[in-house]
Amino acid sequence: MNILFYQKLPSINSTLLTWTLCEELRLRGHHVDYGKSAPENYKGVKYDWVHGAGQDTWEALNFARVIGARCHIHLEGVAYWRIGYENAIDWGYDRNHTLDEIEYFTNQYKSWMNAAFEADSCTVNGIKQIETIERMFERKLPNCYLMCCGVDARYALALPEYPKQNYMITVSRLEPAKKVFMIAESIGILKKRGFDVPPWVIIGYGTNAHVAKLISICRENSIIFSLSSCFGAAKWSWIKKSKLMLAGWMGIPPAEGIVCEIPVLSFAHVDILEMFEDTIWFADNPESYASRIGFLLSPENREETQLKNIYAMDRLLDTDRHGREELYATTQKRAAAQYEKIFMEGMKK
């Protein structure tokens, strides 16, 4: 198949994810391009599918129609727009939103998400997210498939066995919904209890205001931390050498922690519970999160955490006897196989 992943303005985080997915599809024998250009520039390639996501959904759909290709829309970012129906504070925001703000978010969401109803097929990250979309638009999504974000396990599993070093790690953008500030609050609670907390390494980036807020919380609680925006092999090495991964609302990093064989702690949000089930550790609020950090770092609990690491790796990478994926969380290799299946079946219709 010839596939175009259409994206008008690729950002660093989405570019890296899409690049590894494209590579996996190429390894499966498909011609895959990534980016945006005018239809006349594609005369040499007859695309079977155009993949669109985010704010580029309508452009991707229209582009596919112009060049006579099928269109698939991936409905990413649904979680951020659910705050119109749920408590925004539970998502990590500082406050709930006004009715005007909720209306703004809802309208912005609808303006690009409804392209999925006109496309040939679509994918969504989770059952709860499908329910949210269908409730918002008051109709069923056509040809809809579950598709979780994938970890680049092919690369991660090639890493050598590093000795663990004395630090905790978080991989995330510093957006309020990611709950990084709540993680900082939890670490502060643990320090006030007199626990010897290791340094905290954050691989990510954020606005000046978000960075300033993080620095303020960490200084107030005497938290030793560092912030880096490294990618690729450097990022994987930091994860692999760490003692513990601290996650908030993050879909991919917990799987990165699993394949790097380190314990992962997350806030117990419904989407993350759906993706990872009992393979990672959960906490409900900053107080319980702090207690769980202490538990996972205590030497007397090392055997229990190591056994869970083995269990998590088996469930993430293996399939059961029926050939079904064990976890909803997945790898880029499996995501590529799932896209291939969706596209091949779509071409038969």
List Cβ<8 Å contacts ≥24 apart for 324-327.
327/275, 327/276, 327/277, 327/279
* Multiple choice CATH, 153-317, 3.40.50.10420, 3.40.50.2000, 2.60.40.1170, 3.30.110.30: 3.40.50.2000
Mean pLDDT of the chain: 86
- Tens digit of each residue's pLDDT (9 = 90 or more) over 151-209: 888 878 888 888 999 999 999 989 888 899 999 999 999 999 999 999 999 999 889 99
- The predicted pLDDT at position 135 comes to 83
Q: Is residue 328 classed exposed, middle or buried when 0-12, 13-18 and 19+ CB atoms within 10 A define those classes?
A: middle
CATH 3.40.50.2000 spans which residues of the chain? 2-148+331-344, 153-317
- The predicted pLDDT at position 13 comes to 56
pLDDT of 96 strictly over 80: no
Q: How many Å apart are CA 239 and CA 247, to the nearest integer?
A: 12
Mean pLDDT (whole number) for 136-144: 89
Mean pLDDT (whole number) for 239-265: 94
> Between residues 89 and 245, which one has the greater pLDDT?
245
Mean pLDDT (whole number) for 27-42: 79
- The predicted pLDDT at position 12 comes to 54
Q: What are phi and psi of 171, to 5 degrees?
A: -115, 110
pLDDT of 325 strictly over 70: no
Written out in words, the top-level CATH class of the domain with range 2-148+331-344 is alpha beta
pLDDT of 116 strictly over 90: yes
